[in-house]
Amino acid sequence: MARQSGGRWLLRLDDLDTRRQVPGMADDIMRTLESFGLLWDGEATFQSRNLSDYLSFFGELQRAGEIYPCGCSRKEIALSTSAPHPDDDCIPYYGACRGGMKVGSGDAAAIRSWRVGVPDEELCFTDLRKGRCCQNLTQVSGDFIVRRGDGEFAYQLAVVVDDYLAGVNQVVRGEDLLASTPRQIYLQRLLGFPQPDYCHLPLVTGPDGTKLSKRDHLVSHQLGTVTGREQELLCAVLHFLGQNPPQELAGHPCCAILDWGVAHFKPITQIVHGGALVF
């Protein structure tokens, strides 16, 4: 989609969560992309190198009075609501500390997070595949976290700043992130950032219906799990995305398959569901 419209395709490694990082995984991701001919424009960027930028825009939100410190623990928040929330792993927070952080003894007085206050109204946007999407932030996420008490910046703020600084105008990603998009759009509005177009694709899932991810090691240069099958898999992915590549294309180099994809890619709205993608 990016190349078809004359745009650039950027690579960013979202490596803020140091506790979940696997040594060598970032390099494996880049080498795997290269083995499929998926060559990014410019230099790859890393979130861990953008901390000063996150701090700067966090300061803007703070000076504008849009965020506040919160002393509530995750357990306390979970106990305060009886409504299940299956959309993404977010527990709605109803602003117990919005009027001032609760004061108690011991760690009860510690700042556990910084949250942005949200309005009790619908926020709507148009997804390139899903169409019009609306969400009431108060009901879904409540006042959500932008920075944790240990100083670590939350994904929602980091990704918004990253996209802005890189000039991103189109975000294509899995539909498991659809529910968090309104939070990102709300931060964009608070910070005066332009809003990118969003397109959320169906997920690749395993036989049990769960999302396949890096930890499954299905597509890995380092482990050699796809060596010699790159062309076959690229054509399978095109089919998965609702495209119809000719059968003989699977015998061509990866660069030729990608050139065909750029030239013939049909509107993303034709992707109703992903179907099977066999590795």
pLDDT in tens, 175-189: 999 999 999 999 999
> Rounded to whole angstroms, how far apart are CA atoms 273 and 202?
6
> Rounded to whole angstroms, how far apart are CA atoms 195 and 75?
34
Q: Does domain 12-48+204-270 have CATH number 3.40.50.300?
A: no
**How many Cβ atoms sit within 10 Å of the Cβ of residue 190?**
18
What letter does residue 238 receive in the DSSP assignment? H
Q: In a 3-state reduction of DSSP, which class is residue 162?
A: helix
pTM as predicted: 0.87
Q: Classify strands 12-13 and 197-201 as parallel, antiparallel or unpaired.
A: unpaired
In the chain, ranges of CATH 3.40.50.620 domains = 12-48+204-270, 50-201
Range name among 95-104, 119-128, 147-156 with the lowest pLDDT average: 95-104
Q: pLDDT value at position 89?
A: 60
* Inter-residue contact 241 to 199 (CB < 8 Å): no
- Give 50-201's CATH code, choosing from 3.40.50.620, 3.40.50.2300, 3.30.1300.10, 3.40.50.300: 3.40.50.620
- Residues 128-184: tens digit of each pLDDT: 999 999 999 999 999 999 999 999 999 999 999 999 999 999 999 999 999 999 999
* Inter-residue contact 92 to 80 (CB < 8 Å): no
Question: How many residues in the chain?
Answer: 279
Q: 54-80 b/e with 16+ CB inside 10 Å = b?
A: beebbeebeeeebbbbbbbeeeebeee
- Select from 189, 155, 188 the least CA-distant residue to 173: 155
Q: Across residues 253-269, what is the average pLDDT?
A: 90
